[in-house]
Chains A and B, each alone.
Chain A
Amino acid sequence: MSPRSDPDALSRPDDHIDSVAPDASEPGRPRAAGSGAPLTQPKLGFVGWLRFAWRQLTSMRTALLLLLLLAIAAVPGSLVPQRSSDPNGVTQYFTDNPDLAPVLDRFQLFDVYTSAWFSAVYLLLFVSLIGCVIPRTKHHFEALRARPPRTPARLSRLAGYTERPLSVPEPDEGAASAGSASATAADAAIDRAAAELKRAGYRVERYDLRGEPSVSAERGYLRETGNLVFHTALLGVLVAVGIGGGFGFSGQRVVVEGQSFVNTLAAFDSFNPGRFFDDTNLDPYRLTLEELDAVYETRNQQAIGQPIDFTAHVSVQGRGDESRDATVKVNEPLRVFGTDVYLLGNGYAPTITVRDADGEVVFTDAVPFLPQDANLTSIGVVKVPDGLDEQLGMVGFFYPTQTTLGSGAYASSYPDLVFPVLTLNVYQGDLGIDEGTPTSVYTLDPTSMEQLTGGETGVDSIELMPGDTVDLPNDLGSVTFEDVSPDAGSDAAADDYSQSVSRFASFDIHDDPSQGWVLVFALLILAGLLVSLFVPRRRMWVKAARRPDGTVVLEYAGLARGEDPGLDDAVRAFADKHAGKADDDPAT
């Protein structure tokens, strides 16, 4: 990846270290970058220093060190939770390590991949890459137009050197015409070699030096093209990712069965816009969760309760459009109205109704409970801010299939609704939501509340199954766990709880306008890589050399330009094809 500002550099692609240097004797042969200091250092001015710094930055050695540094810099992000991928983990880390966490945070260790130091490494690497790709692109264009270089004087020093006798037709007359006959035959042989090399994809050039006709051929320009495409496409990925992050957004929304969500900023539970995102770009379509199907393993004894399938049946309606049905599955996002909708989670949303002492409904809603384990033991919070003398809060545990552990604690033994039980601990007092400070709907702050049931109160927690109603303590009223089965109340449904509790789906809605570009560049990276690693770039020469005794032999040799393990074989195969197999091949 080192830039070379001289024409000779063209003969040595970056991944090649010359073992054979046919032009080593040429004066002013430039040094490849990183090959050691010159003998005398001229005094450097400011511009000189800049140029020196640029040379250093764009040298292969620096690029390599930056690459290795990048690998090392990426490691801490896997050791410490990251805000981007695991925000809860970060919160937990702060709780567990109150002394260490702020220190790590100072060094941006919870945001490694957007940190100043990580960015510095990859930006330097990309600057180095640009400084390398631009001159090399220029050289490559020149090389594409240049003629294959002049045939070296002594082919015998080159790779895969082999020779074959030149078959000369029997001369009819004297010695003088024998010489001219061999010259004609040599010319013809070289012409034939040139034609054959050309057919094999070589660019060829005839040379005639000191009466020795020869052909110089070069192939594999695609190797350097692939190399440049690879490195340029890496840049492309970086730029596309940056742009996509700037103009895209991602948002999360929990939707309970039967409820809907309209794609507007206010409707999201959480929303992460890119820096240049404009919320007027949101297309306000309506997405309704009709039904969420969850299928769990029932037969395989090793995997009872393991999820088999989640399918969210939704209906989507654009402005002024007909509503249409669609599905969202875990590996099958729904792509509508320029956004991608993903099903990233699901759980239960028990419908809870609270009545006051007079039987008036003060609260009724399907409350999403967050799953805590594979069997969907779930925790949720009910907040009743109005309608009662004091605000009421309830912390609930929901067990889709309740079982009692040996310790007496409840647990869920299966994720589907076989024996659903809801337990509630009631708190009375100030919910702390009146000051306008945002609080999570999934947590209850009990600091200014009095606990009425469960824990140390001596009063048992409220325990409900779908359809049950229980009085609240202190004659506050009652709480009902509604059975939402379509045929609730009928005898047939008495023991069938499978539809008794609503489910919710947790949707992620994303838009990344540059995603397609990233894919295009990624494919270019792959294509460039394949070409640059597997297309051999090589030169081949065929020369009709005149020996001191006057005889003419055909000499063949090649030069690897980059990794080319097949060069010797290629030269020999060409010689065999061109002049027939040698009985005594000097190369073997």
Chain B
Amino acid sequence: MTLDEISLTLVYSAMAVYAIAFIAYAIDLARRSAVATQAADAAASAASATSVTTVAGGGTTVVAPPKPAAPVAYGRSPSLRVGVALTVVAWLLHLSATVTRGIAAERVPWANMYEFALTGTLIITSVYLLVLVVSKHDLRFLGTFVTGLVLVLLGVATVNFYVSVVPLPPALQSAWLVIHVFVATSATGFLALGFALSVVQLLQSRRESLAASATAAKQNFLATLPDSSTLENLAYRVIIVGFILWTFTLMAGAIWAEAAWGRYWGWDTKEVWTFIIWVVYAGYIHARATRGWRGSRSAWLAIIGFSTVLFNFTVVNLFFKGLHAYSGL
């Protein structure tokens, strides 16, 4: 078995563990919905009891309104713990797979599309685990998204992008390959998490506005998650890290382009999309300071931003003509 085959086996193993972790996270989300519904039922019966006494007392009709938007306490969840533990296991397998691939290729493991996907998904998981450690909020609920996304991307990468180890073409023989591409993958990891938080933020804010207008809002797992403004702040903090890394990616790319292609900026298709991504996220950051754009609109910008990142990675790499023709496909 060559090192490359070992790497591929490790990737498949990691995918299997990610899949089980994904199921565990999904079970946890289902359980959250159940808890939220129970809490809502309990609150509703308590509220109806209050209103009965108020009416019997003949007083004003003002009753203490039940607060459907209020967060529901959510206790320990075995499936969530299993999910996180399995994510760590999958991450270790994934890390070994990536390192093995690098050793097999005798260079950094991000020189073609398959390797970029391998390293990029590793970083997405790494950022997720890092945020779990650093953040004071419980963000383990993001595991469903993270493991799901990583699983899908790894699947596509192994099936459609896989290429065996080949030497670096002269254009890629540069220290900037190590820096520029690694920083780009890291940025992608942070922006992916920002995307997930923004999606949950949108769902949460929809639930909150429904709850504010009607009392009959159906309770689901969202009730156990942080409120939308907390989610927005978290998304913002993750995204500005991604944005700074992306700024660096763009600049390092320009310096490399100057050495390799003789100009630092030439509106190559990949450069165009890197620029578009940068501008969209710059818009996101400004939207936070613009009245009427904070909240849901800026969340949409974060979602559009990550869509452009994915577009840049897939469609631009595969179908657009340009100088960044390193997919190896």
| Residues of chain A having any CB pair with chain B under 8 Å | 1, 14-17, 32, 34-35, 60-61, 63-64, 67-68, 70-71, 74-75, 77-78, 81-82, 84-86, 89, 112-113, 241, 250, 297, 300, 302-303, 306-310, 329-333, 340, 342, 344, 508, 510, 512, 515, 518-519, 522-523, 525-526, 529-530, 533, 563, 565
| Residues of chain B having any CB pair with chain A under 8 Å | 163-167, 169-171, 173-174, 233, 236-237, 240, 243-244, 247-248, 251, 254-256, 258-269, 272-273, 275-276, 279-280, 282-283, 285-294, 301, 316, 320-323
Assess the A302–B321 pair: CB atoms within 8 A: no
Query: Would you give the shortest CB distance from A319 to chain B, in whole angstroms?
Result: 25
The distance in angstroms between the C-alpha atoms of A307 and B170, with both chains bound, is 7
**Chain B residue at smallest Cβ distance from A81:** B321
Assess the B170–A308 pair: CB atoms within 8 A: yes
The distance in angstroms between the C-alpha atoms of A473 and B163, with both chains bound, is 49
Please, could you name 10 A-B residue pairs with CB atoms under 8 Å apart, sorted by A?
A: A1-B289, A34-B291, A74-B272, A75-B276, A302-B165, A306-B167, A330-B173, A344-B261, A522-B251, A563-B233
Assess the A307–B289 pair: CB atoms within 8 A: no
Q: Within 8 Å CB of B243, what residues of A?
A: 529, 533
What 11 additional pairs, Cβ within 8 angstroms, besides A17-B289, A302-B165, A330-B260? Answer: A1-B286, A14-B289, A32-B291, A64-B287, A74-B272, A85-B267, A250-B263, A331-B171, A331-B174, A533-B285, A563-B236
The distance in angstroms between the C-alpha atoms of A525 and B247, with both chains bound, is 9
The distance in angstroms between the C-alpha atoms of A84 and B265, with both chains bound, is 11
Query: Would you give the shortest CB distance from A167 to chain B, in whole angstroms?
Result: 31
Assess the B279–A526 pair: CB atoms within 8 A: no
Q: Within 8 Å CB of B233, what residues of A?
A: 563, 565
The distance in angstroms between the C-alpha atoms of A82 and B272, with both chains bound, is 11
What secondary structure prevails in chain B residues at the interface with A? Answer: helix
**Chain A residue at smallest Cβ distance from B237:** A565
Q: Within 8 Å CB of A331, what residues of B?
A: 170-171, 173-174, 256, 259-260
Q: Within 8 Å CB of A75, what residues of B?
A: 272, 276
Given A32, A34, A68, which contacts B283 in the complex, CB threshold below 8 Å? A68
Assess the B279–A74 pair: CB atoms within 8 A: yes
Assess the A529–B260 pair: CB atoms within 8 A: no
Q: Within 8 Å CB of B171, what residues of A?
A: 330-331
Q: Within 8 Å CB of B267, what residues of A?
A: 77, 82, 84-85, 112-113
The distance in angstroms between the C-alpha atoms of A515 and B255, with both chains bound, is 10
Q: Within 8 Å CB of A78, what residues of B?
A: 269, 272-273, 316, 320
The distance in angstroms between the C-alpha atoms of A84 and B322, with both chains bound, is 12
Q: Within 8 Å CB of B273, what residues of A?
A: 78
Query: Would you give the shortest CB distance from A541 to chain B, in whole angstroms?
Result: 23
Q: Within 8 Å CB of B322, what residues of A?
A: 85
The distance in angstroms between the C-alpha atoms of A84 and B248, with both chains bound, is 25
The distance in angstroms between the C-alpha atoms of A523 and B321, with both chains bound, is 30
Given B163, B272, B286, B288, which contacts A77 in the complex, CB threshold below 8 Å? B272
The distance in angstroms between the C-alpha atoms of A375 and B261, with both chains bound, is 22
